[in-house]
Amino acid sequence: AKVSGANKAFPAGRVRNAGEQIDIVAGETLGSPDQIGNLLLTSRDNRPVYVRDVADVAFATDTSDVLVSTLTRSATSVTRVPSVTVAVAKRAGANAVSVAEAILHRVEVLQGSLIPGDLSVEVTRDYGETANEKANELLYHLGLATISIIVLVWIAIGRREAMVVAIVIPVTILLTLSASRVMGYTLNRVSLFALIFSIGILVDDAIVVIENISRHWAMGGGRDRRQAAIEAVAEVGNPTIVATLTVVAALLPMLFVSGMMGPYMSPIPANASAAMIFSFFVAVMVTPWLMLKFAGRSPAHAHADQAGGGMLGRVYTAVARPILSSKTASWAFLLAIGVLTLGSLALFYTKDVTVKLLPFDNKSELSVTIDLPEGFSVEATDAVAQAVAGKVLELSEVRSAQTHAGTAAPFNFNGLVRHSFLRSEPQQGDVALNLSPKSERIRSSHDIALDIRQRIASIAVPAGTSLKVVEPPPGPPVMATLLAEIYGPDGEARRKVAAKVEAAFRSVPFIVDVDNSYGQPARRLRTTISTDDAEFFHVEESDVFDTIAILNGGETVGYSHRGGRQPIPIRIERPKGERTLDERFLTTPIPANVLPGDRGVVELGDVVRVADERASFPVFRHNGRAAEMVTAELAGSFEAPIYGMLAVSQAIDAQDWTGLPKPSIALHGQPEDESKPTLLWDGEWEVTWVTFRDMGAAFGVALLGIYILVVAQFGSFKVPLVILTPIPLTFIGILGGHWLFGAPFSATSMIGFIALAGIIVRNSILLVDFIRHAASPGRPLGEVLIEAGAIRFKPILLTALAAMIGAAVILTDPIFQGLAISLLFGLASSTLLTVLVIPAIYRVLRT
């Protein structure tokens, strides 16, 4: 009261003097420790007692329960220094690279002025730099794919045709980028991958047109080049239109995938569809003109057998003739292909090919979250954080570490979803790990994370401590990879069921970092006032509570305004080391009116009672419904939640549930009836469920759209079924490729499969259209089928190779590897089989 009363300055009116009004300011604010220390409190034995006599007054840092430090490793030791972390986020739509460069330039300018010269600055996370590196890498892959496709056309068709492709690809890409800008997409990792993915299919129309023009020029027939080019484009015009629309019909429904994966992956179907549409117009309008421009006036000279398919046509004829020699041979071939397709699908059942939403990326950062039991001090948390950092810095791939005790590390998108910014209790901490650049290490960040998890398991920590290794997610972040929500009639029932579920989690070897949401309630001391004693000593309850608050938490009694931007708080508090429940605490004097009009003091222990108790359990709600959560991560061969869910379900079935109702298991949607316990799987499973459900629906819509287009093209309801038959054949290559690379079947793999449906159907359309036009009364069906396959095999193979080249350059990317494998191996198998399966089906169904 003395300090706050003396620390006042306020307007006290105005006075007039010689016609002038002068404002009066009463009092002044305290500006230095000496001013506060010289305040008179009372007198004792006729001697004044000042603030400095009963308290130490000094400028000091905030004594909040936060400890932050940076650790770096040298050749011989680990250096630890206190630190402060400043995180800066860019606005939506801003260029991350330019923003990061501007920030670093500003920091450099401020060093020596706002930033003291003896203060070192270290950049621990620069998303602008990583975005720039990734963009440059992808642009390199884009150029590599373009050059490779040009070389392919040069070798397979000719120099003139390669020159046409060299113009067609940049024109189509520029048109696609313009459309992407109009649609509101930025140039980011996913949109660049969409361009690389599109590079292989956007030349399909051009290759078909170029190859057919070259074939017609080789046929001669007394036509000039212009007339032959017109007839060549007209011959493949209708099937090319339908084939282009089938690819768009396969891709476009993926735009409507809901959940967090929808916006994440939307640039792929949007940009690829735009590329296909632009590529068609370029193919039928620009490509013939370029072919004529580059052809010159010389007459066409070509190999005599080029019109019949050339060498590739002869190879096809040699392979196809035995298969198409009879219905029996065709049936045997189709049966063998069917068995091979079913065998490839069996790889899912045997778990030789696993499934996962998205595989882990190779990042430059990791973190370890620390949760001690409630009640532990920030010093104890910091000690564990230092032990973790010291153990992790033994790895050569870890460049530095920042420990945060009592506060959260600067959060990213993953931390936003996991609510890490709320981690501000003394028993909570984070260790942010900065890895060396990818080019300087052999292991991926995921492999390093697995190693770190094993290393920190040997650290001695208090019982009940949870140490979790957190990796930046490759896609949409979730609370935990494996998350079980327990619903039930009341908190006690939910916690009992959750404890059994947690035990089931811990019994599965590949489930790690197991934790729960309720923990163990912290110990606390409840101080209550004895009403009788307070009345006897005439003690005011407010004086008791104010004294207890100041002794244990401190109190801000005012602010010192010293001309700076921020006023300095004036706080009264005990040193942290003296905040204990001991005799000194209980003998603290408090004011009392012992006799009417006679102010005295009594000891705090005379009027309060202290009881030891446990705090209540926390209450978590999901969409308004109370639930307990059991969380975990997965490590090892099975890192998708479905495998952990199946293993936990088996463990729950094997448990003894005597005296406790066994929970029912729900895969999606909160339970309607909470009178009985229910386990709802959430976390990554929820994103996986929504993503694959919507992508499956998109695939169904794509098939329906393709079917309608083909019905309109051929005027038949049966022919489209024949054309759609090769789609399942893609599984042979897709799953075989995933097994060969040891890669999981992911959401990007599914995108590749759906895109393949459109690509394969376009090949089938070109083949069936030629068969229908080549067929004539009296001509043997086998001869027609072999001729159609021989002539169309070259353009079909070239378009497939172009798409495979586009996929091959992204094969090393951890996230989009599934897309690359699906396109590369799926196209290889389905292309080679389509030109045999379609004729074989015709051979079986027709005479």
Which pairing describes strands 482-487 and 466-470: parallel, antiparallel, or unpaired?
Answer: unpaired
For the chain (847 residues), the mean pLDDT of every run of 10, in chain order, is: 80 84 85 85 84 85 82 82 89 87 91 84 86 83 86 84 88 89 82 78 80 79 79 82 82 83 85 88 87 66 52 83 87 92 92 88 91 90 94 91 92 86 91 90 91 92 91 87 94 93 94 90 86 86 85 82 74 79 81 69 86 87 92 88 93 91 92 91 91 87 85 83 86 93 89 84 80 74 82 82 83 86 89 86 78
CA 1 to chain centroid: 54
d(CA 100, CA 129): 8
Task: Check residue 221 and give its pLDDT.
Answer: 66
Task: Check residue 180 and give its pLDDT.
Answer: 87
Task: Check residue 102 and give its pLDDT.
Answer: 93
Instruction: Show the CA angle centred on residue 609, arms to residues 606 and 615, nearest 5°.
Output: 155
Q: Rounded to whole angstroms, what are the CA distances from 147 to 175, 208, 480, 794, 806?
A: 19, 19, 43, 20, 10
d(CA 452, CA 462): 19
Task: Check residue 732 and give its pLDDT.
Answer: 92
Both tokens assigned to 40: 């008179």
Secondary structure element (H or E) that encloses residue 812, with its range: none
CB atoms within 10 A of CB 232: 23
Both tokens assigned to 168: 């067609």
CA 809 to chain centroid: 22
Three-class secondary structure of residue 653 per DSSP: helix
Secondary structure element (H or E) that encloses residue 559, with its range: strand 555-560
Segments making up each domain of the chain, as ranges: 2-54, 130-357+688-845, 523-614
Secondary-structure class of domain 2-54 per CATH: alpha beta
Task: Check residue 403 and give its pLDDT.
Answer: 94
Looking at CATH, the fold of the domain delimited by 130-357+688-845 is given as Multidrug efflux transporter AcrB transmembrane fold (1.20.1640)
List, as one string, the DSSP characters of 492-536: HHHHHHHHHHHHHHHTSTTEEEEEESS--PPEEEEEEE-HHHHHH
353 touches 347 (CB < 8 A): yes
Which pairing describes strands 664-666 and 678-683: parallel, antiparallel, or unpaired?
Answer: parallel
Q: Which of 809, 805, 702 is CA-nearest to residue 753?
A: 702
List, as one string, the DSSP characters of 209-247: HHHHHHHHHHH-TT--HHHHHHHHHHHHHHHHHHHHHHH
d(CA 453, CA 118): 36
Domain pair 2-54 / 523-614, same fold? yes
Q: What is the CATH number of domain 523-614?
A: 3.30.2090.10
Task: Check residue 393 and give its pLDDT.
Answer: 92
Q: Which of 714, 713, 831, 701 is CA-nearest to residue 764?
A: 831
Task: Check residue 299 and give its pLDDT.
Answer: 47
Q: Which of 507, 515, 451 is CA-nearest to residue 481?
A: 515
